[in-house]
Amino acid sequence: MELAILSVSFLIFLVLGVPVSFALGIACVLTYMVEGLPIATAMQAMISGMNAFSFLAVPFFIFSGELMLHGGIADRILRFAQATVGHFRGGLGMANVVACTLFGGVSGSPTADTSAMGGVVIPLMKREGYSAAYAVNVTTHASLAGALMPTSTNMIIYAFAAQGITGMLHGQPVSGVSIGDLLFSGLLPVLWVMGFVLAAAYWQAVRHGYPRREDGSSALPRFPGWYAVLRSFVGAVPGLMVIAIILVCVAKGIATATEAAAIAVVYSLVLTAVVYRTLTAEKLRRALSHAARTTGVVLLLIAVSNMLRFQMSYLEIPDAIEGLLKQSTAAPWLMLLYINIIQVFLGTFVDMAAHILITTPLFLPIAMACGVGPVQFGIMLLLNCSLGLVHPPIGSVQFVGCAIGNVSIGETTKMAWPYYLAIFSAINIVTYLPFFSTWLPSLISGHAVF
């Protein structure tokens, strides 16, 4: 009865267009009332959910990304990408992929990545003879790399969602996940994402003969030379240094992830306001406003999701789901495939942060029983969730790209299947080859990371 009230009321509120955080919170409160639990318990769950020092990294990472977004870093990264791969067939699209991947490391947000790079590259690609649907798909799918970068707030959210979840892996007890390990774990999978999206972009460009200009020409620009590549790289390095600052601070023990995020904010302010002098008072105001609004949304979602975690434990929902999946198959590889398919499906209906907070307690224990550690599962989850950002009906990143490209979501979806295949291929590599997500954090930390 209680489970029916929780799930049905949540779905009804979503269908009515109520924001996810409010829909989730109201559904949980209704369930508390039916169960006869005091409402004060719900409020305590909300407050305890937000009362974690590590969450200070969330506003810092968001603000740092906003400063880079409004500080002109995207233009310098794009010039470097164009100089590197712009002379290939579909070169501007391939440069877009490289630039979006690099800027994703600066912003840590697929949405911000699409807004910054898309606002520059999508109109340029349309003028150069690329279709709007192609330009949007290349931009939005390459932007998903931001979810795996060290500046990603979703990594912080996953670390919170995984805390307290225990299990045994290779004869060792494992509990929760280290944020420091997570920051390094996404760097190799990002290369797979970029490589697969590059392959999809090149294949479509060759197939459709891009660029196809109005005058009928399709000439490619000449390679500008290695000196031009080096010069553009030097121009892009200061913006990309924010990634190195975070990683070095965490790896060397100079600062925690939260303190490294604060250092990244100071660096971003100095770079954009003093060095580049592109950060005006109005841009700073917009960056502060957007960062405050986004932080409020994320923290509210974390608070109500903690209520949901209490409800799921109280109703023994994780145990029920685990039993159901174990009845369907005993093969670990098939179990992981089921988890990926379910995650991709859920990601098309639920926002990324909510998806992480809701499903981590459900599926992480099952994944650990299949031999997948919390770090590896975190990258699996982030990739699965990010695929939902470019697929209707949620598709928030795809909607941003379509608005910039002035093209319908239906038209872009028709051309999106090679990019879906690219991201899903990366998901399966991370799922079945743990080396790519665990080797680097194990090397940096000096102990085995799972």
Give residue-wise pLDDT tens across range 158-184. 988 888 787 778 778 888 888 889 999
In 3D space, the residue among 131, 126, 105, 127 whose CA is nearest the CA of residue 116 turns out to be: 105
Domain count, the chain: 1
Average pLDDT score over the chain: 85
Q: Which residue has the higher pLDDT, 355 or 14?
A: 355
Asked if residue 240 is part of any domain, the answer here is yes
First to last CA, the chain: 38
Asked if residue 291 is part of any domain, the answer here is yes
Tell me which residue range forms the domain holding 147. Answer: 38-445
Asked if residue 30 is part of any domain, the answer here is no
Spatial distance between the Cα atoms of 430 and 408, rounded to a whole number of angstroms: 32
The tokens 């002098």 sit on which residue?
277
Position 193 pLDDT exceeds 80? yes
Q: Please give the helix or strand (H or E) that residue 173 lies within, else none.
A: strand 172-175
Percent of the chain with pLDDT over 70: 98
Cα torsion through 199, 128, 405, 413, rounded to 10: -40
pLDDT of residue 204: 92
Position 216 pLDDT exceeds 60? no
Asked if residue 305 is part of any domain, the answer here is yes
Q: Which of 224-238, 276-290, 302-316 has the lowest mean pLDDT?
A: 302-316
**Token reading at 270:** 């100095």
Spatial distance between the Cα atoms of 74 and 149, rounded to a whole number of angstroms: 16
Contact 223, 213 (CB under 8 A): no
Q: What is the pTM of this model?
A: 0.87
Helices of type H across 147-273? 153-162, 179-185, 187-208, 226-251, 257-269
In 3D space, the residue among 380, 389, 395 whose CA is nearest the CA of residue 434 turns out to be: 380
pLDDT of residue 217: 57
Asked if residue 13 is part of any domain, the answer here is no
Spatial distance between the Cα atoms of 225 and 258, rounded to a whole number of angstroms: 41
Percent of the chain with pLDDT over 90: 23
pLDDT of residue 140: 94
Q: For residue 333, what pLDDT band results from cuts at 50, 70 and 90?
A: very high
The tokens 């965490």 sit on which residue?
250
Asked if residue 225 is part of any domain, the answer here is yes
Q: Which residue has the higher pLDDT, 254 or 213?
A: 254
Spatial distance between the Cα atoms of 144 and 100, rounded to a whole number of angstroms: 9
Position 194 pLDDT exceeds 90? yes
Spatial distance between the Cα atoms of 4 and 146, rounded to a whole number of angstroms: 36
Query: Per mean pLDDT, which of 187-196, 250-259, 295-304 is the most reliable?
Result: 187-196
Mean pLDDT of 320-335: 82
pLDDT of residue 417: 93
Q: For residue 215, what pLDDT band results from cuts at 50, 70 and 90?
A: low
Spatial distance between the Cα atoms of 269 and 63, rounded to a whole number of angstroms: 10
Give residue-wise pLDDT tens across range 268-288. 999 888 888 888 889 899 988
**How many separate helices (H) and strands (E) can be counted in the chain?**
22, 2
209: left (phi over 0), alpha (psi -120 to 50) or beta: left
Position 73 pLDDT exceeds 60? yes
Please enumerate in sequence order all residues whose Cβ is within 8 A of that of 30, keeping only pairs 6 or more positions apart, or say none: 5, 6, 9
Asked if residue 16 is part of any domain, the answer here is no
Spatial distance between the Cα atoms of 24 and 41, rounded to a whole number of angstroms: 16
pLDDT of residue 383: 94
Spatial distance between the Cα atoms of 24 and 290, rounded to a whole number of angstroms: 23
Contact 255, 53 (CB under 8 A): no
pLDDT of residue 431: 95
Contact 398, 389 (CB under 8 A): yes
Query: Per mean pLDDT, which of 34-38, 385-389, 422-426 is the most reliable?
Result: 422-426
Asked if residue 419 is part of any domain, the answer here is yes
For 34, phi then psi, to 5°, come to -65, -40
Contact 263, 249 (CB under 8 A): yes
pLDDT of residue 219: 61
Spatial distance between the Cα atoms of 443 and 187, rounded to a whole number of angstroms: 13
